[in-house]
Amino acid sequence: MDLELIQSLVKQNQSKIVFLIMDGIGGLPRDEDGKTELEAAFTPHLDELAKDSVCGLQTPVSTAITPGSGPGHLGVFGYNPLKYQVGRGVLAANGIGFDLKEGDVAARGNFCTINNQDQVMDRRAGRISTEKNIDLCNLLNENISIPNVEVFVETVKEHRFLVVFRGENLSGKIKDTDPQEIGKKPLDPIVLDSSAEYTAGLVSRFISQAHMILKDEHPANMVLLRGFSQKPSWPLMKECFGLKSAAIAAYPMYRGVAKLIGMDVLETGQSIDEEFDTLEQHWDEYDYFYLHIKKTDSYGEDGDFEKKKAVIEEVDRQIPRLRALHPDVIVVTGDHSTPSKLKMHSWHPVPVLLWSKDCRKDSVDQFGERACILGGLGTRLPADDLIALALANANRLEKFGA
C-alpha cells in the first residue's frame, strides 16, 4: 500500500474504526479433530460477525516470512514492515516500556563473561538471574559518568539489558560490539557514518567504565552492545490516514510500537475485560482504536492449545460489547500466526475479517483459517492494505482521478 497515495485521498468524517488484534491468532490443526485453535474455539459472536463481513487471509510482512512482533504490528497498522524497520535498541526500549525521547540512542546489551585476556568466554554470562541483572544495572547506573550525556541502564531479563544515551548530537550509526563468537575480544564501537564519531566516543567510554565497574563480578564481568538505534521519525497515523488514534494494549512492547506511529496510549488493565472497559470509556475521543490481545500469542508460544482456544473464547464473549458501541468498521485479525503446535511465531497467513455496512460480504460464515480461504479478501492480502480498506469502508477516502 502506497502511504502517499492514501494520504492524498484522505478526508474527514465522524466514523469510527476498531482494529481488534489477537496476537498470534493463526494456528495449525491439532491431531484429534484436525481443527486449529480458532476453529476449535466456540465463537458464536465472531462467526456471526464473519457472516456479515468480507473475510480472507492476510500476510503481515511477505509470503513465507515469520514476523516479529514489531513488523507484524506495523504491517497491520499500514506501514510496510520491509520499509519501516525499527532498530533493535529501539525495540528493546519499547519492549520494557522505556520512554525514548527524540535523539536518544538505544542499544541492547548482554552481560557476558570475559577471561583475563579480555576474550569472551560466554556471551550470556551463564544466563544470570534477572535479580542479579537488576543489581548489576544499579551498579552501572550509580557509577557510570560521562560528561554531557545521561546514561540509563535498564534490566530486560536474565543477561539482557537496555542502555540509552541521552544528549545533544547523538547518532545510532554504530556497529555492534558483540563479536558473536567465543574466544574473541569485544569489538570497538565502529561508526557506520562519520556523523557518529562523537557518539562512538561516548560508547567507548561507557564500555571502558563498565569493564572497570564489573571486573570483580563473576560471571557477568563485561558488556556487549548491539542494535544501536534512534527512534525513527515516521509519518504518523494522523498525517497518513487522518485518524486520531488510540492504543489499548496491556503489554509495553505493543504500547511502544503504537507510540512510534503517533497513537495515544491509553491506560488500561491487564485483563481482556478491562481492555474493553477502556475502549468504552474513551469511545468518544478517537477515530481509530487498536485493541491488543496478548495471551493468544503467549499460550501459542507455550504450546498450550487449550488455553489459546480459551483466550479466543474470552475475546468472543466481548464482541457484543464492541458491537454495542456501533463502530463503522471492525477489523479482527492478528499480527502473525503462533500455532501452539510449533510453540513459536510462524509464516502462515493470518485470518482476517472486515465488517462494515458496505463491505460486500462474502459467503464465509465462520471465523477460521480454512473458512477464510473462500473470503472476498483472498488468501494473500498484504496486511498493510487493511487500513486503506478500513478507510474506504468508513467513507474516508476521496475518489482517485476524475
Sites of contact with a copy of itself (CB under 8 A): 1-2, 5-6, 9, 28-29, 36, 56-57, 61-71, 81-82, 85-86, 88, 91, 95, 339, 341-342, 344-349, 358, 360-363, 369-370, 373-382, 385, 388-389, 391-393, 397-402
Residue (64 or 324) nearer to a copy of itself, CB: 64
Cβ neighbours of residue 109 closer than 8 Å, sequence gap 6 or more: 153, 160, 161, 162, 163, 223, 224, 225, 226
Q: What is the rounded CA–CA span in Å between residue 197 and residue 189?
A: 9
Residue (132 or 292) nearer to a copy of itself, CB: 292
> CB of 255: closest distance to a copy of itself in angstroms?
16
Phi, psi of 198 (to 5 degrees): -60, -50
> CB of 288: closest distance to a copy of itself in angstroms?
15
For the CA atoms of the chain, what is the radius of gyration? 23
For residue 351, the cross-strand partners are: 57
Residue (223 or 354) nearer to a copy of itself, CB: 354
Q: What is the rounded CA–CA span in Å between residue 290 and residue 74?
A: 12
Cβ atoms of 109 and 89 closer than 8 Å: no
What cell was used for 397?
A: 477516502
Residue (276 or 367) nearer to a copy of itself, CB: 367
Residue (95 or 327) nearer to a copy of itself, CB: 95
Residue (129 or 363) nearer to a copy of itself, CB: 363
> CB of 166: closest distance to a copy of itself in angstroms?
23
> CB of 202: closest distance to a copy of itself in angstroms?
25
Pairing of strands 288-293, 160-166: unpaired
First-to-last alpha carbon distance for the chain, in angstroms, is 21
Residue (82 or 192) nearer to a copy of itself, CB: 82
Cβ neighbours of residue 21 closer than 8 Å, sequence gap 6 or more: 73, 76, 290, 291, 292, 293, 333, 334, 335
> CB of 185: closest distance to a copy of itself in angstroms?
27
Q: What 3-state class would DSSP assign to 201?
A: helix
> CB of 197: closest distance to a copy of itself in angstroms?
28
Residue (71 or 242) nearer to a copy of itself, CB: 71
> CB of 156: closest distance to a copy of itself in angstroms?
12
Query: CA 63, 64, 65 angle in degrees (round to 5)?
Result: 95
Torsion of CA 73, 77, 78, 80, to 10 degrees: -20
> CB of 1: closest distance to a copy of itself in angstroms?
7
Residue (273 or 398) nearer to a copy of itself, CB: 398
> CB of 216: closest distance to a copy of itself in angstroms?
33
Residue (167 or 376) nearer to a copy of itself, CB: 376
Q: Measuring CA to CA, which residue among 60, 76, 62, 59 is closest to residue 21?
A: 76
Cβ atoms of 352 and 57 closer than 8 Å: yes
Q: What is the rounded CA–CA span in Å between residue 306 and residue 299?
A: 9
Distances (CA, A) of 371 to 22, 86, 240, 258, 340: 18, 34, 33, 30, 20
> CB of 112: closest distance to a copy of itself in angstroms?
20
